[in-house]
Every structure is written in structure tokens, then in C-alpha cells.
Chains A and B, each alone.
Chain A
Amino acid sequence: MTIDTGRSDNLADLLRTNTAALTARWVEVAAATLRGRLTTAELERELAELYNALLAGVDSGSRDVAAEPYAELRALLTDMSRRRARTGFSPSETAVTVYALKQAVFELIDNDAVEGGLREVVAFSRLLDAFGLQTFESYAKAREEVIDEQAEQLLELTTPVVKLWDGVLAVPLVGTLDSARTQVVMEKLLEALVTTGAAHAIIDITGVLAVDTQVAQHLLKTVMAARLMGAECTISGIRPHIAQTIVALGIEFGDITTKSSLADALRHALRRSGVEFTAAERRR
């Protein structure tokens, strides 16, 4: 008995003989859900490729999505979801593109009343479901990659070392201080101390939402490292609620100079380097 393979061929035959009609209908159904964000020509090209890969797979008689004959189709789908993820499509929109073929095929089966259709339809439906799910997975993976990239960029972006005055550097910290970021901050600050020959560094934590023991430990280590390089380090931007929390937590900053604002810290640094402030005398 070769019922199974016979029926498989049935499906393959159906797909092959109706290639033009099915791809046209597929493009039509898929285009409706994409609301014109892809041109019809683009979609046609994309889906024709997928269709040929699917046909090649079905032709082999296999209905197992993980099987070798479907490798090309899997690769194409992964590519497609990646492209879509990067251009801002939602995962459902991507999956619906795949499921649209179901509608096209079912309509055809309805019209033609293909013999022994039910088993065929179930197998085909299961196949497409699996491929739809795969687009979801690739989509999520592509999005994760985007997020990782952005996190890395943020790490670089949010830690500028700025020169406030001759010999005075400042690092304004914003957001969350974790180990990775502190490492970047420390490296950048120490490098800048060497290249500029600055004797003062100000770490401003106005933009840090909460100072817990880990953040404090990171700050202390950075200050110690700067000191070892002969620079004086001030921590500024300690707001009232942060100060109270630090005290309650029991963190001691020891002999490290701290200031409530960046302006105070700058004035302190300038005074230490011998710059005097005098109100300009008004001359008549």
C-alpha cells in the first residue's frame, strides 16, 4: 500500500499544476494584511521564492518541517522574518504572510473538491503552521539581536568624559550603574586622565536613580583607581533623598570629597588647582 506517498504526490501535483493561480492568490491575501507597506512586486518575488522552495520540499514526499528537503525553505523564512523584524513589522504580520497560503490552497480545494482532500489538508495545514511558528522564532531572535546591539551602543554613548576646565574632567552618569558600565566608565576616565594630564576628575551622579551598595562599591573603586594615578576625584550630584538612603544603608564614602552639585564640585576643583574667584571690580 502506498496510500501515503500517493496522497503526498496528490498535494505536490495540486501545488505544481496550480502554481500561478496559488501564488497570485497568496500575494493577494498577504498583501491585504500588510496594508501596502511592501510593494506588490517585492511581495511577489518573496513569495514566489518561498513557493518554489515549498514545492521542492513537498515534492520529496516528506511532511516533516525539520527534514532536509525543507532546509532551503527554512533558510528563506528565517531571512524573511529577519528582514521584517528590522523594518518594523510585527511577528503576527510576518506569520500571517505564511498562513495566507493556507487560505489560497483551501479555497482551491473547495472549488475543485480534490479527491481524498481531508488528510491532505490536515497534513498541509500542519506543515504551514510549523513554518509560521518558525517565522515567530526567527523574528524574536532577530529582535533580540537588535536589542543587544542597542544595549552595547548605549554603553558607549552614555559615558562621555568631558573637559570642564584646564585640568578638570567630568563624567556625568545617567541611569543604571552595573558592573559592565562601571568598567567602561572607569576605563574611559583613567584613559582621559592620562591623555589630558588632568589632576581633577568629577563623577556626577545626578542622573543615577538609586545608589545601592553595588553602585557605591563601583564608585569607590573608580575613585581609588583615579587616585592611584595621582588625580583627585570628587563625587557630585548627591541629591537629598539619595544622601538619606546612603546614610541609612550605612555606606561610608570615607575621605572622598562629595558635593551636592556639579557647580560646587567644579568650584572645589578649581580652588584646589589654585584658581581664585574674585568678583570683577566695576570700573567707572
Chain B
Amino acid sequence: MTKPWRLGVDIGGTFTDVVLERGETRASVKVLTTYGAPEDAILQGIRTVCAQAGVAPGEIGQVIHGTTLATNALIERRGAKTALITTQGFRDVIEMRTESRFEQYDLNLKLPEPLLPRQRRYTLPERIGARGEVLIPLDRGAVAALADELAGAGYDSVAVGFLHSYLNETHERMVAEVLAERLPGAMVSLSCEVSPQMREYERFNTVVANAYIKPLMKSYLTRLKGRLGGEGLDCPVFLMHSGGGIISLENAAEFPVRLVESGPAGGAVFAADIAARHGLDKVLSFDMGGTTAKICLIKDQTPRTARVFEVARSYRFKKGSGMPISIPVIDMVEIGAGGGSLAHVDAMNQIRVGPESAGSEPGPASYGRGGDRPAVTDADLLLGRLDPQNFAGGSIALHPDRAAAALQSTLGDRLDMGTETAAFGLSEVVDENMANAARVHAVENGEDLSQYTMIAFGGAAPLHAARLCQKLGISRFLVPPGAGVGSAIGFLRAPFSFEATRSVYMRLGDFDAAVIRALFAELAGEATGFVRSCDATAPIGAEYKVYMRYTGQGWEIPVPLTAEEAAHPDAAVFQTRFEAEYEKLFARTVQGLDIEITVWAVNAATPSPETVPVPQSDETGAAVATGTRSLFDPALGKPLAASVTDRTTLAAGQTVTGPAVITEDETSVILPAGMTARARADGCIDIRTGEDT
């Protein structure tokens, strides 16, 4: 039996990417996203790739889909008519937020509006205590009366969030029962299911976000399934979730908030797959597009995950200006740094870049479409990184004179710098912004980046990767082929996975091995059962993790355990593991304090698709250059003569020595002096500092 074809589909803000793949054979296409009916673009893309590959839709065995639709619905506030039912006395939790200002010095600060205005937030008398005990019982009659009120108002979706429901679900479940009886047309989301974690603001916000986008996403996914069937694709459809795993269409329709940031998650999975092929255990994934850059740490070919993500930041990507969503997510930082990011000079005569972006209209000054402020692309052009005649495969002619004028008037004249120095300054600032984001991210995770390899993809990344590596002390980076549709390829590399978690407090002083064994067994059963429902035959592996802290701290750190340690729990082992992780993160342990476990997690997953190691390519000599051009070297602070090589002419094993530019249709790989690139058998360009690889 031949393997079936698999289809990856990524709906982004501008483009919908479709990738069809079987083994080493791949067809891909980018089509414009169709906002009114996103499935139209998908079908258009499917027809194109099927024609390219000569494949009938019926030969496709699996569709893996990721989308920004959920994120965009939250950002653009295009959700359903939604009500929140919460504990009496706590109507305004999602509006009062943390009661702080995310920007301390702005007297005219505007706080983001909550997803639901106050008149759509309802309360019921009930109360669960901090030990899970019932302080005020919930009266079913009161719930029924409220359900009738909501029915009269015509709500399509209802979120339920009660205090301490992560410890005791009974009240939320009773509301769900009554709503099912009296408001059968409305969709219901419970905080104890969507996000069973302590801290009411994050939990309520997450359940509200889920309820808000549920009707929209459920309807879209149902339509998509139907349209695919109509096209002859009656295979299973799965969704990429924000944690980098795959869930069923039904599960995604129930918990659509898990789809937030599924595109960037696919990018991280893409990088993880490249890492596996090249046998790299410590990878920094660097995805830089037109508006933002995403940076993610990938250890042992597995992207790091976190438990809270902030969506829809309203104030220059500033932390705290968005909505916190507590779901398992691939832990990445996203900052406003892309090819279109605009520069200006502030009151301290400091160059600032982003997060404001020139977008595609008018675009950077060099596009010649009326933009007169300098963007990162303009600086890249003047520093010799881009070929004005051959940008975007020659489809957009770049105007160096316009770029120079914008740089000179906005930066050069203010700072008494020449145009080239201004371009250098702009480029250095955006690179430093990204380097800082990467550094902070590494520190938060206790990692030393100097031992990492970077994988760079997205249109602007290969232009900036080398300088970023220099700033971060990274000595090697890879630029994979297919980087333009990296996220959609990533979807096809993701395992089926599910993380089951439970909040159960236990101090090491009260360590109870029997309880722990039972808890882990239950979680493993739940996680494995879910994965089995997606894939009936594949082997399923389980990973065990506990979140621990000193008693009295508020933030836990993840502590991985082996299956053996989970099966035979031992307090001394738990303590040793915790102290080792703590010391790695925070330099010193604290003596004489009790340690506690707060959250228990088991992640079940099918193995990642088999990766074929990329063979070592013996050096086969220098590649043939097609010409030379002047390339500014940021480390030396001056221009050098650089060779220019066409990527499509590179054969495996051929080398290029910097200063050099390797050109391709969508981008160019910049190689400063002192770096050497070698083409690998899989089409990756492998760049290292030093004389040879």
C-alpha cells in the first residue's frame, strides 16, 4: 500500500498557504486569503496543488489545518453575541484586569475594552472556597431564571466562570445542564474545562474568548468539512493547536481558543523538524516576516511550551495591553520587527524601529508607492542586502533613491549622519531589538544561547540572521528550503498530542506516593485515550511533568520526570530534580523551605513522523558566483565587495565564503566576512562562523 498524500493548509493574514506532500514529493502554493469565506481560498489552493502534482482529491488521506481566523476574530472583535455567567460579587473581573497600567508614563492611556461589555456579564449567588469546599450552594431555580433571561435576550454563546472552579466543577456543570435544557440553541463554554487553572482573571478571560469565537469557528469548520467532502476529500481533517500538536476537528470546534497562534506554532514545528533532520538539540527558531518576528527555543527537537499567552496586544505589542489566554502554547516571543517596520528618531536622539509597519500599501519607501518613511527593507536595500532589480522574484522593482531620501530626511538629518550610517543604525537597532527579545526569552528559560543553532525562515529572516547570530554569540545558522510556506509544512510534521493536567497541591513534606501513582495513571489514561481517538494504530508515548515551587512562592517551574520516576514516586528524587532546575534558572536555591507541587501534567503523543537524517555533504568546491556587489558589514562598520551566487545553482556540498549574498526569488541569504556557507543535500544552506565547516 502506498502512503496517502497529506495536505497542510495555513490561513494567514494575507496569504493562505497550501502544501501537498507524499514522502519527498511536494507541491505548494500561496493564494490570497478570502476573508468572507476562508474555505474558498483553501479549495482554490487545493485545486492548484492537485493539478501540479497530478493527484486526485480522493487520494489525499489527511488534512492538517491551522489558521489565524480565531486570533483575528479576537483582535477585530467579530465574535458572537456572548454572555458571561459568573460568581455574584465578581461581575467585573475581566474588566478590572490587574488594576494596573501597562504603560506607566502615559497620562492619556486607553485600556483595552473587555470582550464582553458589562451588560453582558451576569451573576449568580454561589461560592466555592479555596479548598474546593462549597461556601454558598448554587440554587438550580436561580440558574433556570437566569437561563430564561438569557434566552429572552437571544444569546448565541454563553461562558461560565466561577471562582475556584478549577478545584470544584460542580457549580459550573450545573449551569451547563440547565442551559442545555432551557437554552438548547446556545453554545456553552465552562472555565473548568477550557482552562482549569488558578487566577480568575486569566481563566475567565480564556473561557470568554472561547465562547466568543465558538459559533464562528464551529460554523467555519463545519462548512469547511462539507466543502472538502464536496470536492472529493472525505478524509479526516485535523487542526493544529497553539501548543504545536494536532487535535480533531470536533475538539477544535469545542475549544477554538486553542487555535490561537496556530500558524506561528506550525512555524516552530517546521523548525523542529529541520532540527531533527540535522541532529540539532538546541535550536533558536527565527521567523521574520513583514510585520513581526517570532523567536522560539527548540530543545531536543521539541519547541518549549508555556501555559499563558497574551493575544491582541493593543499598544505597540506592549506586555499587558492584550488579553491573557491560558492554554498550552508554544512559548515564543513576537515583536514588531519585520521588513516593513518603520523607523524614527525620538527625543533622546535614539533611533527607534517598529512596531508600526508600512504594510504592503504604501509599503517601504523603496517600493515607490508613496511611502516616505524609512523601513527595515529600505535599510537592507542600501546596505547591499537586496537586489533592487530582483526583489520578490522581480515582481517589485525597488527604488534605492527613494529609500535613501527617506533615510536621510528621517534619520540622517536629525542625527547628523550620512545615508549609509543611518541605514546601518536602523538595521542595528532592529537587530538589537530582536536580539534583546531572544535574550530575555532565553533567560526566562535558563538557557545560554551561545550553544544554539539558529534556523531562519520567513522573508526577512535570512537578511538579518547572520547579524543576529553575531549579537547572540551563535556560531551557526541554517536557512531551509520552502521557508515561505514553513508553517504549512510544519503542520505535516506535527505529532498527535494531548496534555492532560491537574491542579493538586502537595507539599513534599506530605508526599503520598500512592496518590501520585494514581494521579499519573489517570492523567496518562486521559491523554493517551484522546490521542488514540485521533490515530487508531500509531504507538503513543507519554511525558511526565510536575510544576513545583517553594511553598509560598506564586510561580512554579516545570520539572520533567522520567516514566520510571512517575511510576515509582520518591520525594527525595522530586526534590533533587526541582533544585537542579531552580538553580539553573535562578542561580541559587533557598535553604530550609518546604517545596510543593501544584500542577501535574502528562503529555501523550504519537512519535513525530520519521525524519531522515540529512547526510553530511562532502565539500565539493566553491560555488560559481554570478557577480559581485557592495555589501555593508555591520561588525566591521564598512562596506566590502561581496560575491553574488544564485541559490538554485548550488549543488550539495558546494561552499560560499563571505562576504557574499546568496540570492533566491523570495529573499537573499546574507553572509558577512568570516562566515562560510555550505549547501546540504536537503537544500538547506548551512552557515558557520570561521574558516570552514
Genuine A/B complex: no
Q: Which residues of B contact A (CB under 8 A)?
A: none
